Structure 1
Amino acid sequence: MELANDDSLTERYRELSDDIAAAVAIVSATRGSALHAITVDSFLDVSYDPPTMAVSIYSGSRMMETLEVSSHFAISLLNSEQRDISERLGASGQPLYGSLKGVDTFPGPQAGQPVLTEAIAWFELELTEVLEVATHNLVVGEVVALGAGRNAGTNRPLLRWRKGYGTIGQR
């Protein structure tokens, strides 16, 4: 067991948490008439009944500002060929408007939230709760619509591990 002071504990946590392999997704929402989106790898299914998911969003981000005025949002699970989208929407200083320009999307069927057409799976959610935790907010939503993207049965998921990207083999 390692003992550390606060600064080195934080650094060691960052280092070791990079060993957690995670699927990569896009969280998207509308703000007025604009489509807004960011890359995330901290999301999870919370409950099957009712279907509920949660995502961790930096509390000072533009996306959190968007979610504070939106009743719905979407999560699109990226396929292994969408690394460029992940990198673009994961870069700091993303513009509030036009972040999905050039990305093939369609409006979700319940609330019209932007969904990536080529996503392996997508979920449109009604925001039900926001929990403040340290520097982030856990945004909880009940699934109101869901589906699979084109070629979802043959595409592999985009994964992050140790600050890099990869995927997994066939089932």
Structure 2
Amino acid sequence: MDRTHEDSLTERYRELSDDIAAAVAVVSAKRGNALHAITVDSFLDVSYDPPTMAVSVYGGSRMMETLEMSEHYAISLLNSSQRDISERLGASGQPLYGSLKGIDTFPAPHSGQPVLTDAIAWFELRTTQMLEVATHSLVVGEVVSVGAGAHSSKDKPLLRWRKAYGTMGPR
């Protein structure tokens, strides 16, 4: 296969994969005493028994280094009013320390990992496996605790589609 075909395939893949609507979440973990977090839209529930989830994280990122050092992490599902948080934590080159400064969090019950207070739902996970896949790592975790935000029955999820933000209709 010549490189021209590979380049066009990659570009076409990027274009069409943006047509996959995805919920937006924050993955967070402690690194020492510092709280670290990034925005993700590549996560999924893997199994209900035992409850298991996975998240895709760029392999060379500081967040991946943090996840490699931590036995636990949290996933906080953002609501439609949290676009500013998504953009802030999704910016490249953000500092390792202080990324959650000014964002209301609380410690997850088992490990103390930071959970966003106003998240629609949150999941605390114990890492069970890390798989390197191309440029990313899939971080698989068994869910050890869950919860929902105070307004989760009324909140709408923050979604990404075609490089833009949106949400769904009434619940």
TM-score above 0.5: yes
Secondary structure in 1 matching 2:155? coil
Secondary structure in 1 matching 2:64? helix
Q: Which runs of 4+ in 1 moved over 2 A?
A: none
Letter in 1 for 2:79: N
Structure 1 unmatched runs, 5+:
none
Secondary structure in 1 matching 2:63? helix
Letter in 2 for 1:77: L
Deviation readout 1:120-163 (Å, 9 max, x if unpaired): 00000000000000000000000001000120000000000000
Secondary structure in 2 matching 1:39? strand
Deviation readout 1:98-125 (Å, 9 max, x if unpaired): 0000000000001000000000000000
Give the Cα separation in 2 of the matches to 1:74 and 1:93: 21
Letter in 2 for 1:164: A
Letter in 1 for 2:87: E
1:62 matched to 2:65? The reply is: no
Secondary structure in 2 matching 1:5? helix
Secondary structure in 2 matching 1:93? coil
Counterpart for residue 169 of structure 2: 169
Letter in 2 for 1:108: A
TM-score (norm 2): 0.97
Secondary structure in 2 matching 1:118? coil
Counterpart for residue 49 of structure 1: 49
TM-score (norm 1): 0.97
Counterpart for residue 107 of structure 1: 107
Query: Residue 43 of structure 1: CA displacement?
Result: 0.1
Counterpart for residue 157 of structure 1: 157
Secondary structure in 1 matching 2:65? helix
